[in-house]
């Protein structure tokens, strides 16, 4: 039986080298300012860009700016692109969007703003079930069942009152 190695050949450390398939390059994430999307965005951005050795902070800052849109871009656009301002821009984004209370309320709003089915459709029904399950999972990671129920009741009350009272309630909370 010929293994391709002569009887006198040995591997230096008896390790086996396994070839790993070349994976496609990851697409840079984008972020437009939805609080509920911030954690996923920053986790991906950190893994693909921020932790990458060999990139200067100016290069990382430019990648960050290219990933941001809308309100998220406006949050950091005033910073000049410098090595020092890259970390300041990341911190500004974190202060603005890493807010569990706003994420919680955004998820409640998305739950109630889902469009109803207009006709029987198994694919759309599965989509609604998947979205509700994902939103409930997110809510459960941020609060207790009682807090979720209270937030739902508050949302329902807010949608049933007049505009002036709604604005007053929003200022109080």
At 118 the pLDDT is 87
User: Where are the domains positioned within the chain?
Assistant: 35-97, 100-172
What is the pTM for the complete model shown?
A: 0.67
Structure tokens at 78: 């005033």
| Phi, psi dihedral angles at 68 (to 5 degrees) | -90, 150
CB of 31 closer than 8 Å to CB of 48:
no
Please report, for residues 38, 60, 67, 85, 115, the alpha-carbon distance to residue 78 in angstroms, rounded to integers and kept in the order given: 20, 16, 16, 10, 37
Q: Is the pLDDT reported for residue 9 higher than 50?
A: no
DSSP assignment string, 36-62 = HHHHHHHHHHIIIIIT-TT--HHHHHH
CA angle 102, 63, 59 (to 5 degrees): 130
pLDDT tens, residue by residue, 57-113 = 999 999 999 999 999 999 999 999 999 999 999 999 999 999 888 888 888 989 999
**pLDDT at residue 8 above 60?**
no
């Amino acid at each position: 039986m010929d293994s391709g190695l002569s009887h006198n050949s040995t591997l230096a450390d008896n390790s086996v080298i396994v070839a790993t398939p070349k994976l496609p390059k990851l697409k840079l994430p984008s972020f437009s300012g939805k609080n509920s999307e911030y954690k996923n965005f920053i986790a991906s951005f950190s893994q693909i860009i921020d932790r990458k050795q060999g990139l200067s902070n100016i290069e990382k800052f430019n990648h960050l700016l290219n990933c941001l849109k809308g309100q998220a871009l406006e949050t950091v656009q005033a910073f000049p692109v410098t090595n020092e301002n890259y970390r300041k821009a990341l911190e500004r984004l974190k202060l603005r969007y890493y807010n569990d209370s706003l994420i919680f309320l955004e998820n409640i709003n998305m739950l109630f703003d889902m469009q109803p089915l207009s006709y029987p459709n198994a694919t759309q029904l599965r989509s609604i079930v998947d979205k509700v399950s994902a939103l409930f999972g997110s809510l459960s990671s941020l609060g207790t069942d009682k807090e979720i129920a209270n937030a739902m009741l508050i949302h329902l009350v807010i949608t049933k009152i007049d505009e002036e009272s709604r604005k007053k309630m929003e200022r109080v909370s």
